[in-house]
Amino acid sequence: SLNLPDVPVSDLIVQDNELAIATHGRGFYILDNIGPLRQTGAAVDAADAWMYEPAAAYRTGPGATFTYLLKKAAKQVTIDVLDSTGTLVKSFGPDTAPPAPAGRGGGRGAMPTPAPAITVGMNRLNWDMRYEGVTSFPGMILWGASTQGPVAPPGTYQVRLTVDGKSQTQKFKVKRNPMITDVSDADLRAQFALAIKARDRASEANQAVIDLRNVKAQVADRLKKAQDAKLKETGDKLSFNSADVEDDIYQVKNQAGQDPLNFPIRINNRLANLLRMVTAGEGRPTNNLPALYDEYVKLLKVQTDRKDKVFSIDLKAFNAELKRLGMIPIDPKCAKAEGCSFVP
């Protein structure tokens, strides 16, 4: 009975997508999200798995609720949110995991992403209406920043349920809060457009830090494995120049949440702070924020160009020495200190 006690029911009222039940002596109960009851039919009865059409979701609300039915246990379930053009917005799957723990100063971090249930029966998954957040790395400490993805602008979206390789898609809408009357859909789309650009550039900055750290870890690994003067010379130069660029992208002195009060913030923190300012509240960005974004993009490009130069000159020279010694080359995208490839 879904926790409804065995008492007399004096009235039933359907309000939008909810059923309100008045009882005698036990108050009232609400059965939320009765959409699946309305959609029951032959198609649902014949299917082994079914994604019900979601109700409209309102910005500033709890999110979009996806209800799906599994008539038999599934090995793998994924749920993808797509925009009206079919572009992936968010994915929930068996490999979904919370973001890596990272100490932060003042700001908002990304929330864990739930994995869809694979149990028989009716299941639910809630999407907070946010796009993917900023790329992060372990131990990252920022101040006055946000690493959360921006909230989806009003429009038509799709949710795709895939169960053991078979997919089904339903459409649903994201709407602006009707109680906020001085903001238009166009305002929210403008807010999203700038927010997603700020997110992408903050991710680019953090990915550069990740790549540089991968290089430094692999250099240290190779130098431990070979006693060669030329290899050490080129390796030390690569490590030094990589660390120098990293320090100009991220404040490496930050070790605790309050450290940004003592050490100047770097470009990745500025971009994440911009993301926080753009997404604060519901409305079009103030006039200064696009100009601030353009300035930060220029500052970031200076550092990514430096990183690219280090990789094209110093990394190339070090890999040449590794090849001479028959050792595994360095790959900035490899997160393993020992390397991700075999010696050719």
Give the residue with greater pLDDT, 149 vs 35.
149
Give the pLDDT confidence score for residue 97 in this predicted structure: 53
Q: What integer pLDDT is reported at residue 311 of this predicted model?
A: 98
pLDDT band at 108 (very low <50, low <70, confident <90, very high): low
Between 244 and 109, residue with greater pLDDT: 244
Provide the pLDDT for residue 40.
87
| Amino acid 105: pLDDT | 60
- Tokens standing for residue 221: 């690994």
Task: Identify whether the C-beta of residue 144 lies closer than 8 Å to the C-beta of residue 106.
Answer: yes
What's the pLDDT tens digit per position in 289-314?
A: 999 999 999 999 999 999 999 999 99
pLDDT at 100 over 50: no
- The stretch 196-225 carries a mean pLDDT of 98
Distance from C-alpha of 76 to C-alpha of 331, rounded to nearest angstrom: 32
Q: Using 50, 70 and 90 to split pLDDT, how confident is the model at 233? A: very high
> Can you spell out the DSSP letters for 33-87?
--HHHHH-SHHHHH-SEEEPPPPPEETTSS-EEEEEEESS--S-EEEEEE-TTS-
What pLDDT was estimated at residue 3?
83
Q: What is the pLDDT of residue 101?
A: 45
Per-residue pLDDT at 330: 96
Look at residue 163 and tell me whether its pLDDT is greater than 60: yes
- Residue 154's SS3 state is coil
- For the sheet with 155-163, list strands across it: 57-58, 166-175, 155-163, 77-82, 88-92
The whole-number average pLDDT for the span 140-155 is: 96
pLDDT of the residue at 38: 86
DSSP state, 312?
A: I
241-257: average pLDDT: 97
pLDDT mean over 12-18: 88
User: 172-190 pLDDT, tens per residue?
Assistant: 999 999 999 999 999 999 9
pLDDT in tens, 17-49: 889 999 988 898 998 888 888 888 899 999 999
Task: Give me the chain's average pLDDT, please.
Answer: 93
- Average pLDDT of the residues in 306-323: 98
Return the CA Rg of the chain: 26
The band of 254, judged by pLDDT with boundaries at 50, 70 and 90, is very high
Q: Which CA distances in Å does 61 have to 126, 179, 261?
A: 12, 12, 34
**262-292 pLDDT per residue, tens:** 999 999 999 999 999 999 999 999 999 999 9
pLDDT score of 104 more than 70: no
- The residue with greater pLDDT, 1 or 75, is 75
pLDDT tens per residue, range 218-232: 999 999 999 999 999
pLDDT at 1: 64
Question: Which residue, among 138, 111, 128, 135, has the nearest Cα to 58 in the 3D structure?
Answer: 128
Tell me what pLDDT residue 110 has. 57
- Is the pLDDT at 344 greater than 80? The verdict is no
